[in-house]
Structure 1
């Protein structure tokens, strides 16, 4: 662990110095606003969400936490299936449909992830990825209030992802709201260890998270390829600095400690 932290600190320091030498990052023209919103989100996380998530993780049995995560991940698989089908990835889409069917029945409404045990791979797709798959540029990096890292494209279509989340239609309303709070706390609790490592490793946490997010987002949109038919997405990701080692694990879709209130359908697994 100490070696990992040393490497991360060295790379982060190099990136900070490089950033100072080359000027503003073209992928982040709104850096002034983004840093201010990052700091706001960080304060909310530090003084509200992280303490609650810590208590939740310490007092809630691990099997209960696993069940909560599985339940909401199963709901997320519904929109993932739709987006895979919209992208023409019919094999993955039908696999997602089967996952929902198996986990919703034999898995007790998704509390048990029977589908993964049966070899059905879990995917994660949202509408921003679908638009990116067909060539729509991501636009610049953009930090959302409470929701954390995003891009202009993904921020604009976020209402579609939210509307597609089955939990948004759960009645009665008090049950829906209680479940939403539980979902957020559970997802934040799952990232406690990653956020602690990030705090120890990064000299500039904002830059560390931004670069890791942009790289990982492009990887998600193009399924590991450089871009549509091998062409890199423009303008944001082409010019973004490479993510530092460990940033991908720490950032997830919304880096640890920054996605305070993840968009339900857009974040199947993480804050």
Structure 2
């Protein structure tokens, strides 16, 4: 986690001043800055992360790949539990906490999602949504180097969620960074499935998809407009 701290700190500093400002009419006033960062991220993904994800997907047996994905989703239930409590959603906290306990024990450290089979459905929330519940404005759209799309509000939420994650409590630096790297590659495998849906200007498509995904999360799944390019496809948890 220490290797991520300079970027997270920079994000926090960038977010501190404007986060309490009124909601901007233009969601992307920083487009002139965001586009070059987007191009940089695309190149890094093209030459590093995407090949690693494809290689991982090619050599990893499907049951093991699903188990790894379940493992990291189980860790995220800890953040969901904490944020549900901060939002005053105690039922959601009990649901996420119950999932974590079931999957960490019966599901063998989360490798098997037994909670869903037992009827305890997955729930997702983060500190960006917590800030929204507290009345913090969304702020402008921001493309963060290496980390991808954010809003000012969700960017601050990312910092909080990173420092309250299970991984950060691991003292062994090599193990901690290995888990972070594996989670990054595993998450990128999930996004391979969504790439065929992207059309037109990739920057605009990804920006609009991210903003709608965030607003759906903030509104507990309710969105005002339908993003027609999605059709009936289900997007991964993170874009």
TM-score band w.r.t. shorter chain: 0.7 to 0.9
List gaps (5 residues or longer) in structure 2: 1-24
3-state DSSP of counterpart to 1:142: strand
Shift of 1:114: 0.7
Taking the aligned partners of 2:127 and 2:206, their CA distance within structure 1 comes to: 22
Alpha-carbon distance in 1 for matches of 2:85, 2:127: 11
Note the C-alpha offset of 1:180: 1.2
Matches within 5 A, 1:130-169: 130-169=130-169
Asked whether the equivalents of residues 96 and 122 of structure 1 are also in contact (C-alpha less than 8 Å), the reply is: yes
Q: Which structure ranks higher in relative contact order (CA pairs < 8 Å, sequence separation ≥ 6)?
A: 1
Q: Does the residue aligned with 1:39 lie in a helix, a strand or coil?
A: helix
Give the CA deviation at 1:251. Answer: 5.8
Q: Does 154-163 or 99-108 show the bigger shift?
A: 154-163
> Residues 125, 183 of structure 1: CA spacing in aligned structure 2 closer, same or farther, 3 A cutoff?
same
In structure 2, the partner of 1:93 is 93
Give distance in 1, aligned partners of 2:178 and 2:205. Answer: 33
Q: CA separation in 2, counterparts of 1:169 and 1:97?
A: 18
- How many residue pairs get aligned? The number is 215
Give 5+ residue unaligned stretches, structure 1: 1-24, 227-231, 233-240, 256-271
TM-score (norm 2): 0.84
CA distance in 1, matches of 2:237, 2:39: 18
Alignment of 1:13-24 (within 5 A): none
Normalising by the residue count of structure 1, what TM-score does the alignment of the two structures yield?
Answer: 0.74
Whether 1:220 aligns to 2:217 is: yes
Residue deviations 1:147-168 (CA, integer Å, cap 9, x gap): 1110011223422111110111
Q: CA RMSD in A?
A: 2.0
